[in-house]
Structure 1
Amino acid sequence: MSQATTVLRESQLSVANGVAHFSHQRPSARNALSMELRADYQDMLAQVESDRGIRALVISGSGGSFCAGGDLKSLQALRNAEDPEARSPDAMRRRLQAGHVWMERLRSLEVPVIAAVDGPAVGAGFSIALAADFVLASTRAVFCMSFAKVGLVPDLGAFYFLPRVVGMARAKELALTARRVGAQEARDLGIVLAIHAPEDLEAQALRMAGRLAAGPREALGLTKNLFNRSFETPYATLAEMESQAQAVASAAPFHAQAIDAFLGGRPAAYDWDRQDA
């Protein structure tokens, strides 16, 4: 299996067999979302978006931590900056707006995204996990909307993602209490799809990504993005988007090959239920 690995500022990106694996690599800081890691996300997304050979993405942490959220040291530095503009409310607003640009790109990737959460996914780290299509967790995973603990409101898309996953009342409860949620409760709430032992988590995430990568790229990407828009789009508009998406999917080579295989009595190339899949 050939693998290409790019070492970024505080992360690394590996690509093999159609699966990209983006791993946070600052375990000494519990992979906090520093300005450097934010820049890494932009670089990673540019590569994944431009490489049609990439058909699934796995995001993970290192050293027993997914992402501890915003870098509080950098926030303190902003508060102590000599330049009034650097510590102004508008500077914070622009900082968050810049984060939303790449978070929207992450959410809208036209390939399945899997977050492999081992250890804490806290604050903005929790938001990143929620932006994935599927969250796989280790038995020691912990999720926390920790913002209230430091006198802040949830950010990096939490107001959008969390109520859509757990419902409005539970989203408010998790944000207002800033309490910790273990892997089993997160699964019960619908945040986590499956739980694995820490030593198996990454392999299981890559295995799932590999199976998804065998699917129809166009159809899966269109399906994902239509579901992403389902809660805020009127029926008539979504029906028109569905019709356009089906036109694209039906013209893709995968569809023609699948029909030929079915009519010729050959096994489907993409069959999740098949034993040897």
Structure 2
Amino acid sequence: MTTAAALDRITADAVAPVPGELSAARAQLAAVAQRVDDLLQTLPAPAERSPLHTEQAATAKDAARSLRSRFLAVHTEAVYDELTGGRRARPRIADLASGGPTAFPGLLPTTAQLAADRARPQAGKEGHEIDQGIFFSRLLASPGAGRHLVDSMRCPTDRALTLLPGFQRTGIVELRSVRLERRDGVAHLTMIRDDCLNAEDNQQVEDMETAVDLALLDPAVRVGVVRGGPMTHKRYKDRRVFSSGINLKSLHAGQISLVDFLIRRELGYINKIVRGLLVDEHSWRHRSVEKPWIAAVDTFAIGGGAQLLLVFDRVIAAADSFLSLPAAQEGIVPGAANLRLGRMAGGRLNRQLLLWGRKIWAQELHARLFVDEVVDPADMDEAVDLSAERLDSPAVVTNRRMLHLAEEPPEAFRAYLAEFALQQALRLYSEDVITKAGRFSAGARAEA
């Protein structure tokens, strides 16, 4: 069969109505997806395709994605019920992403397809993560499945449960990118990626969620503090840095994952800082364990670092520090910042930050919309200790719960994340993001 004939058949089958009976719809999706995979196998690798081949691949993938979206519009709840054993299980998004291809062939990329893409730079990938974006967007948009999924992602991770006895005994856990230490009832989470100015990647998201889980699970911890550690970078040697945002070198290399980084970050450790750990879903009193959190900002909080500041109960900044949210410059969606900025700053300032790349210094008047206290860099330790002492109160815990309920209702968060999952997937594979990440990586290599 010629490529043109194969495309015609794919397009015709993909626009057929989705059967209301799940098994028939499952078969239709599997058949179309297999034909698309077969066609792609006849083409050169993505980076080696001619303009014609690129157009043919895009047409085939777009037809399959349209069918996936319509399939989920009809069967989302049934799909989720099958993948979760009637919602008796509490799988994480990675579990759903890996189990979905077996239960529903063609709905999600297989392990082999994702592995092949991971071996390529971002510009040379097939873009299978877009199909994951469609899947999680539809799940989160569904009131029943979406609520269950968000709650499931608030459960403690297996890694944290394994490390908990040791942390309770010693008060210290050393992870690859985070050091967690308990002192006088305060959990100090120090980001220690000195090789990249605490730029976030898959590993840092994994370690941050583990550390947040441990701080919330340990009853001896009453307050959490997040701060950046001293750097070895020649420009910032021995200075603490909060965060430089997403690791654009890793993005260019194709090592930033939609599931394990971009979606997990929002539904995982950041949401746990906001709403706590789900520890007893059947309790009539408290389903979750929550604690107050402090952010201590040294030098700068850029991109994802600035996003974090929006969820803390108190933010302390060194007088010589700044924050910025260069979303338009990076080309991606800045997590849930678009949802949270509105309650902290007016529309004009939001746009100056997100669309224009404005930098706000700690001593500016506008910084007070994001920062509670500005102190001399030498006084940061004392300011953190005093704030932790002040927030160490059961009444603080209850009132922060009620504040979050009023400021960011769970349903508003879920609806935002539903759209975020799809739009961020599309952004990951957009030409402008790939070009910008490539320029950053080249500049970083030249500087090194």
TM range (shorter): 0.7 to 0.9
Q: Which residues of 2 match residues 57-76 of structure 1 at below 5 A?
A: 57-63=224-230, 64-76=240-252
Verify: 1:11 aligned to 2:178, yes or no.
yes
Q: Which residues of 2 match residues 132-211 of structure 1 at below 5 A?
A: 132-155=312-335, 157-185=336-364, 188-211=367-390
Verify: 1:123 aligned to 2:303, yes or no.
yes
Is the 8 Å Cα contact of residues 186 and 192 (structure 1) preserved in structure 2? no
- When residues 146 and 202 of structure 1 are mapped into structure 2, their CA distance, relative to the original with a 3 A threshold, is farther
Percent identical across equivalent pairs? 27
Q: 1:188 Cα deviation (Å)? A: 4.5
What are the superposed Cα offsets for residues 243-274 of structure 1, whole Å, 9 maximum, x if unpaired?
xxxxxxxxxxxxxxxxxxxxxxxxxxxxxxxx
Match of 1:273 in 2: none
Match of 1:43 in 2: 210
Tell me how large the CA RMSD over aligned residues is. 2.2
- When residues 186 and 77 of structure 1 are mapped into structure 2, their CA distance, relative to the original with a 3 A threshold, is farther
Amino acid of the residue matched to residue 314 of structure 2? F
Amino acid of the residue matched to residue 241 of structure 2? S
> Highest Rg: 1 or 2?
2
Structure 1 CA distance for aligned equivalents of residues 225 and 342 of structure 2: 23
Provide the secondary structure at the position in 1 that maps to 2:334: coil
Amino acid of the residue matched to residue 13 of structure 1? L
More helix as a share of residues: 2
Q: 1:28 Cα deviation (Å)? A: 3.2
Among 382, 401, 405, the alignment partner of 1:229 is: 405
Q: 1:73 Cα deviation (Å)? A: 1.3
- When residues 117 and 232 of structure 1 are mapped into structure 2, their CA distance, relative to the original with a 3 A threshold, is closer
Structure 1 CA distance for aligned equivalents of residues 328 and 215 of structure 2: 34
Is the 8 Å Cα contact of residues 143 and 186 (structure 1) preserved in structure 2? no
Among 237, 240, 262, the alignment partner of 1:96 is: 262
Q: 1:202 Cα deviation (Å)? A: 2.7
What are the superposed Cα offsets for residues 56-101 of structure 1, whole Å, 9 maximum, x if unpaired?
11110022310000011111111xx8xxxx9xxxx63674211112
What are the superposed Cα offsets for residues 179-213 of structure 1, whole Å, 9 maximum, x if unpaired?
21100126644211111111221331122112322
Provide the secondary structure at the position in 2 that maps to 1:116: strand
Provide the secondary structure at the position in 2 that maps to 1:57: strand
- When residues 120 and 232 of structure 1 are mapped into structure 2, their CA distance, relative to the original with a 3 A threshold, is closer
Amino acid of the residue matched to residue 139 of structure 1? A
The number of residue pairs the alignment matches comes to 218
Structure 2 CA distance for aligned equivalents of residues 92 and 122 of structure 1: 20
More strand as a share of residues: 1
Match of 1:77 in 2: 253
Q: 1:228 Cα deviation (Å)? A: 0.8
Structure 2 CA distance for aligned equivalents of residues 54 and 187 of structure 1: 33
Give the TM-score of the pair, scaled to structure 1: 0.72
Provide the secondary structure at the position in 1 that maps to 2:243: coil
What are the superposed Cα offsets for residues 135-181 of structure 1, whole Å, 9 maximum, x if unpaired?
100012110002211222322x2112222211333212211111211
Match of 1:255 in 2: none
- When residues 16 and 95 of structure 1 are mapped into structure 2, their CA distance, relative to the original with a 3 A threshold, is closer
- When residues 137 and 37 of structure 1 are mapped into structure 2, their CA distance, relative to the original with a 3 A threshold, is same
What are the superposed Cα offsets for residues 11-53 of structure 1, whole Å, 9 maximum, x if unpaired?
1011011111101112231111122211111111221221122
Structure 1 CA distance for aligned equivalents of residues 249 and 297 of structure 2: 23
- Shifted more, 69-78 versus 195-204: the winner is 195-204
Structure 1 CA distance for aligned equivalents of residues 217 and 408 of structure 2: 28
Structure 1 CA distance for aligned equivalents of residues 219 and 175 of structure 2: 21
Is the 8 Å Cα contact of residues 224 and 291 (structure 2) preserved in structure 1? yes
Structure 1 CA distance for aligned equivalents of residues 317 and 387 of structure 2: 13
- When residues 95 and 36 of structure 1 are mapped into structure 2, their CA distance, relative to the original with a 3 A threshold, is closer
